[in-house]
Amino acid sequence: MIPSQKTSQVITWLRFPLIMAVVMLHTYLIDKPIGGIVYVRSGQFPFFDYLEHIIRVEIANMAVPLFFFISGFLFFCGEAFTRNTFIVKLKKRFHSLLIPYLFWNTCFIVFIASIEMVHPGWLTEKKSLVNMSFSDFLNAYWDLDQGLIPLWFIRDLMILNILSFVLYWIIKKTNFLLLIILGILWIYQIGQWAPGIGVRASFFYSLGAWFSIKQLNFVEVLQKYRIPLLTSSFLLIIIDTYFWSKDLSYTFFFQLSQIIGILGIIVFVDLLLRHQKIHIYTFLTESSFFVFVFHMFIIKLPSIYWVKVLPVNTLTAILMLATIPLLVTISCIVIYNIMSILFPRFTTIIIGRR
Residue 177 placed within a domain: yes
Within-domain flag for 265? no
The model carries a pTM of: 0.95
According to the model, what pLDDT value does residue 354 have? 60
| Position 46 in a domain | no
pLDDT band of 123, cuts 50, 70, 90: low
Question: How many independent structural domains does the chain possess?
Answer: 1
What pLDDT, on a 0 to 100 scale, did the predictor assign at position 74? 96
pLDDT at 338 over 80: yes
Residue 81 included in any domain: yes
Answer whether residue 160 shows pLDDT above 90: yes
Size of the chain, expressed as the number of residues it contains: 354
- Structural domain harbouring 159: 68-215
As a whole number, mean pLDDT of residues 241-262 equals 95
Q: How confident is the model at residue 86 (pLDDT cuts 50, 70, 90)?
A: very high
pLDDT tops 90 at residue 1? no
Q: Is residue 141 part of a domain?
A: yes
- 88 lies in some domain: yes
**DSSP assignment string, 272-334:** HHHTTSS---HHHHHHHHHHHHHHHHHTHHHHHHHHHHS--SHHHHHHHHHHHHHHHHHHHHH
Percent of the chain's residues with pLDDT above 70: 97
Checking if the pLDDT of 130 tops 80, the result is: no
Average pLDDT over residues 168-196: 93
* C-alpha closest to that of 287 among 254, 251, 333: 333
163-189 burial, b at 16+ Cβ within 10 Å, e below that, comes to ebbebbebbeeeeeebbeebbebbbee
CB-based contacts of 299, cutoff 8 Å, min separation 6: 23, 26, 27, 324, 328
Is residue 285 one of the residues assigned to a domain? no
Banded pLDDT at 275 (limits 50, 70, 90):
very high
